[in-house]
Structures are given as C-alpha cells and as structure tokens.
A and B are shown apart, each in its own frame.
Chain A
Amino acid sequence: MEMNQDKYSDLTKGYDQDSDKRGNIPAESVFEEVLPNVIAAKSNELFALARKSSLWTLSFGLACCAIEMMSAHMSHHDIDRFGIVTWPSPRQSDVMIVAGTVVKKMADPIKRLYEQMPEPKWVIAMGACATNGGPYYRSYSVVMGVDHLIPVDVYVPGCPPRPEALMYGIMELQDKISSDAKNRANLISKKHLNNEN
C-alpha cells in the first residue's frame, strides 16, 4: 500500500502508533483508576451513552462540504435533535468534521487543531476530498485524505455528501462509541480476572 511519498507524509509522525493494536478503543479515563474495576466497566458504558448523546462539533469548514454541513445544522435537517451543536473552540469540542479538501498548507493547522481537542475525541472525514483526495487526486497541493494526518473514525462518501448522509455518518459514530465502550468493558473485566488469577 503506497502512501503519499512526499515530505508531508512525515506529518503523521508523533501520533499514537499503537492505535492500530488497541483497535480504536478510547484511552483510559481518570475514572478507571479511581473506581473499582467492575464499577468502572459499567460506568464506562454510562459515559459512552452520555458522550454519544452530546457530540459537540468543532465549527470548522474547509470547502464545499462545509455548506452541506451547515445545511445539516439548519432548520430543515437540524442535527441539534441529536444533541449536536457546533462550538468555535477546539477545547470544548468532541468531534471534528473535516468537511472539504485538505491541502498541504492546511495540514499543520489541522493537526494542531486535533491535538488541541481534549480526549475523548473523534474525527469524521466528510466527502470524497477528505477521504482520499476526491476529484483532486492528481493535484500537487492536496493531501490524499485527511487520514494521512489524523486518525479518522467515520468516512462519509459523496461529493458533497447530502446532509442526510452526514447524519447517517454521525449515527454510525454513535454506534461506534457505544460498541467501543462495550469492548473496553470486556477488556477491563478480562484484565481484572487475569489479575485475580
């Protein structure tokens, strides 16, 4: 699998290289250290329930898809119904919707924005450009997909995706959050058992 060969590919350095091994399970929270393991396993599911019900997105539009992302927030589609509001500062957001083409000049700011978001955080790559370069796959200045820079949880195809497609992507993310919490709960109880034995 050949990736982008130029020097911008080294922007991916310094990321959690173990994330593949962990299988996208969110990092440990403080509560797991404080609470007894059994409670922690259950509380994790409760937290996942809360997190998936209140996904605050970073208001951050790059290109064409940003217009459809805005449409999704507006009266007709209104994703506030799922508890999703946009927030201007990365410090208070949970989800980064990368809506549009990521060019090399924008690579560093995007990486920094992702780093500024507090854990747990998720990324939705919206549209063909953010997924793999889309119509600009031959361009000299476009990063071939935002997953060269930051880990992506959900890809929403389309050019641009309809607001309904974005909504479906968000629901997939919600499913992912709760199933991840269940996996984590299994993992913790296994660890617990191993410690006892």
Chain B
Amino acid sequence: SHDIAEYALWLGDDSLVLAQHLGWWISRAPELEEDIALGNIALDLIGHARSLLHYAGAESGRTEDDLAYWRDEPEWRSAHLFEQPNGDFAHTIARQFIAAHYLFELYSALMNSTDATLAAIAAKAVKEVDYHRDHSIQWVLRLAQGTEESRRRMITGLSDLWPFLEELFVDEPLIDRLEGIAVRPSSLRALVEAAMSPVLAEAELGVPRGFISSGGGRRGDHSENLGPLLAELQVLARAHPGATW
C-alpha cells in the first residue's frame, strides 16, 4: 500500500543518508582497520537502503535509483540524526552509537511485522546492525576512557548528537495506519535507553541535557545538511537523465 511504501522510505532514507556520510571516511579514517570497519557499516546500510527503497518503489513502479536520485529534498523522509555531518571521529561514533541502538531495536521489533517483506528485511538487517552497535560501543568506551582529549571529544560529540534522539520516537499519523505492520516509534524509547544506559555508565558518561531538536524529517522538513548532501549524491545521475550505469 502507499502507507507501507511511505514507511519503507522512512527506513530506507535513514540508512542511505547515513551510508552516504560514512562513505566519506574511506581513505580518511584514523587507522586502516577503521577504513574497513566504517566501509563495512556503510555497505550494510546501503544494502538495507536498497532493499527498502526497492520495496517502497514497487507500488508506484519506481526503482531504487529513481527514489535515490530523482527525489527532491522535501520528498526525503530521513530523520535529522542521520543527516548530521561526520564532524570529527567522536561525532561519527556518537551518531553511530545512537543510530545503531535505534536501528537494532527497530529491526528487532520489525521482524514481527505482519508485512512479510519488511519482516524479512528486518531479520537480515538486525544481525548486521548488531555488529554496528557493538562497533560503536567499543569506540565509545575507548574514547571516553582513553585520553583526556578523547574523553573531551567524546563528551562533545555525544552532546552534539543527543538532541536528535527524540525525533526517532515520534509517532507520526502514518504509524496509526500501519498497526501491526510498522513499529511504533514511541515503543522503542525505553528499549533504546535501556540498552544505551549501561554503556554510558561504564564509560562514565552522563546523559547529555539541553537541546532537543524538533525534527520533522518524516514530514519532509530537513536539517540544513541534507541539501548539500543530496547535491553531491545526485549530481552525476541527474546530469544524464534516462541513462543506465
């Protein structure tokens, strides 16, 4: 249905936008092992995005590439968290930490979707996202308890990204129309917080307080980072309408 397609866009856009950011690190990471690890994560996310966009487009006869390359900014559905720039490595890790915890709980719940396709995508994705989560946890611990500088940066990174957590738990009207099919975002809050909490405790990091971004990505209201990101993502495809690659 149109609603299911819309929901698949939410999820697909989150993954694609995050992968686009992570791809930047390849050849720029702090060590070769991280070039590979962040590359793996980006690859997994592109895989999820492709499945989800493929599914989202099927209803309207659009391909994954039609959706990735030919939608304008207001038609994107990514949440602001995924749109936030890489910043330094601690920012990237903070974004991964929040994103992977959210995605893990999301896909864990989505495995029980009455929509067989979404359930199947979730079942595959959850295993990969579990690795992403573990990767981010290891780095949060290392950076928070490594050197004075890394701790300072980790705290800054976490408090810069934390405002974007809230949007992930907002139940838009779409969700009411997808009972049993979609995961209710508000139902994830306790799970995500419970999973992050012991890590933050072990890292001796407090839960950042202060700003909360009001988001709006699911309605097409995006942060200022998305426009330039899409300019780069889409530039070549749009220069050759109708071409295949």
B and A form one assembly:
no
Q: Which residues of B contact A (CB under 8 A)?
A: none
